[in-house]
Structures are given as structure tokens and as C-alpha cells.
Chain A
């Protein structure tokens, strides 16, 4: 029956011709191809020294943002932890004291904020969930480490540097 798509190809199994049975022409052709690759540019990037350029929407390490006055934006509402499919985020909330007004934007803040980088799948749902624009996955690649406990990143690693330090 004729095929409707007209894409069907009937394979014929022909016995090898003498030249094909000699292998040599095919081998010479193959060796030519491999030697040509000797002179091509290699695709390797020497990672620690050279870094690949990422696209604008690359999701790397998290950072907890500050507002224009250098106050932490996070209010410890817990929406990021709730939205996290890998359950990588935990936090403990605390109430802002009067003398801490220059540190935190709202009356409530995160006393501890931990992300387990081994659990995180870098999906970016936390930054979508955040109502205060406090968390973004705009950092570099999370570096390797030796111990599991060292992959639990606290506020010391996550919070953005203060404004004066940035300058």
C-alpha cells in the first residue's frame, strides 16, 4: 500500500562492495574527519578562571534585598517558604524594636532566614511569591563544599551588602 506521508523509505540490504569490504577508504575518511577536529576551537570553558555568560533571566544564588535606605525588605511573612516546592526555606520572625528602625523596613523581620542549597531546585517560585520584592535569585552559581551543614545558607550569606559597603 502506498504510504500517505510519502516519507517511507525502503531499506535495501546490499552486500558490501569490494571497496567497502576493504574498510580502508572509509577509515581514511573517518581519520580525516577526526584530524580536522584537532584544529577546531574547543568548547570547554575553564570554569573557575573563566565563567560562562549567563542569560538575563538566569537563576543563581538567592539574595535578600534591601530598600533604597539600606533597610532589609523581608518581613518574614513566610510566603516564600510556603511556595517552595522543595521545602528549602525556613525562617524565624521577630518584632522590630524601636532602636532598630534603621535596619528593618516593617515592624516584623526575619531573625533567622535559612535556605538549604542542597534542597533548592532554583525554580524561582520564592521570588514570584514574595510580596515585598525581598528575595531574588540573581547571584552566581552556588559553590561546592565538603559538608552538608555548610550548604544551609543563613542571613550572613544571603542578605545583600549594606549600601555604604556597596559604595
Chain B
């Protein structure tokens, strides 16, 4: 999925917390309440991640995967992945996919947020309807787009035919497949950007605009001199969250193109899946290695996001 939500860190409460008054009994009961979720984190986050790291450091076959006696091979799987001719294209596609999606989701989301920030009849209702693409199951969105982009019977090519453009092989031509999944993913990500940026707009005092209007500032100037600079903290949060969530998009690409044709829409996420599950002869080790590279990238940007958020919370 493109984007999911994240809630405010529990750690932001820290500033109001009296540091000394923690009776021991309260400590005990607090950790009794936390025990289930702590155990859960260890069993269902830490352990799968550990297994994944372990997978990437051993030479697994289907037999040794079941029996668990695969030989330790160090970083061999990572070397294999880096040397793979598919590595370069997958890296490029991941970067292009993420960057293009982010730019368009943000730009469209911002334009819509500014538009819906005006008060007019139905604006709240229509804004709510914009959430629909984000709430639909990804398999639903992906299969709808697949059929709309179908070369022979898709409505997109039918519309292009009307304006005199020949059929585009959206999903079956290597030069268009990446564009197609990017279009679908932008569509899914716009609502998230719209909602976040719209709530950011509401915190900008309206009298600033009135004052600027009195001084003769045009709507264009008001946007670039007031809205955009004052929205910067919210924009940064939106873009970073979008980045973390776009990096790991898998469903859309896999359902629409399976990363093909000929690897033309393969990103790290779909490559990892293809290696691990996509064929009759699974390559669990290299698959896990690709996945771990993705984890490292997601966590790196995730930490930047958390740092930024804490800085904003303190200021």
C-alpha cells in the first residue's frame, strides 16, 4: 500500500512527566499492562525480522528451509544480489517510482487541499468522498486500474482513441508499465496528502490572508508568501511519511504487472517477493537480502521522520 497512517509518538508526553514520583508498585502494574504487547513485539516483529536476517545469511534450499540446517554463508547472498543484472534496474525503478509518486501526490494533494480549504457548499462532503480511493482494498484498486488500462478493451485507450491517439500498451509494454503503476499509485496516495495538508491549512490564521488581501496581494502571491512557507512543517511530515510508505509499495505493482514485462516495473519490494515466492524454485536467501536492503532504507527515512517530528513537538 502507498501510505498508512502513523500516530504521534508516545514519547512526546515526556515533557510533562514528573521524573521522581514512580512508586515501585506502580512500575509493576504498568509493566503488567505492557507485558502482552511487549511479548507480542518480540514474537511477531523482532523474531520475524531476525528470521529474515538469518535467511539472508544462509544458503537455503527448499529442503534445508524445512529442516533448518542451511549452511552459513555470510554476505554471499548480498553479493549475489548486488551482482545480479536485475539489481540496477530494480534500484532505478524503486527511485523513480518513489520520487515521481511523491511529487505528484504532494502537488495534487496540496492543490486540492487549498481548493477545498475555501468555504463553499458541499466542500466537506466532497472532501470526504476523496477518501474513497484510500480506503478501498488495494486488490480492488489494482484490478480496476488493470481493466481500465487494458490494451484492447480498456476505457483509457477508448478515450485516447476519441482524441486520435493510438492504443497504448499500458501494462504489456516495457516502456509503459512503470508509468501505469505510478499513475495508479498516485491515485491511491492523493487522499492521504489531501487530508494531512488540509488539516495543516486549518492551523494557518485566516486574518493573515485578509491582511495580505488588503495590501493588494494576489491569490498567487498569497499562496507562495503565506500558505507554502507556513505549511512547511506539515509538508515535511507528509513527504517523509509518504516516502517511507511508497518505498514499500508492493500490492499495486504485483497485482497490475507482477513487476513485468521483462522486469520493467520491478522494484525492490516486488523483486524480493519474486525471489522468495514468485517461482517454483524459491531463492529465500537472496529474497531476504533484497528485503533487508529495503528495511534499512525505510528505517533510515523513518528515523529522519521521527527526529523531525520530535523537533517540531519541542519547538
The answer to whether A binds B is no
Residues of B within 8 A of A (CB): none
- Chain A positions near chain B (C-beta within 8 angstroms): none
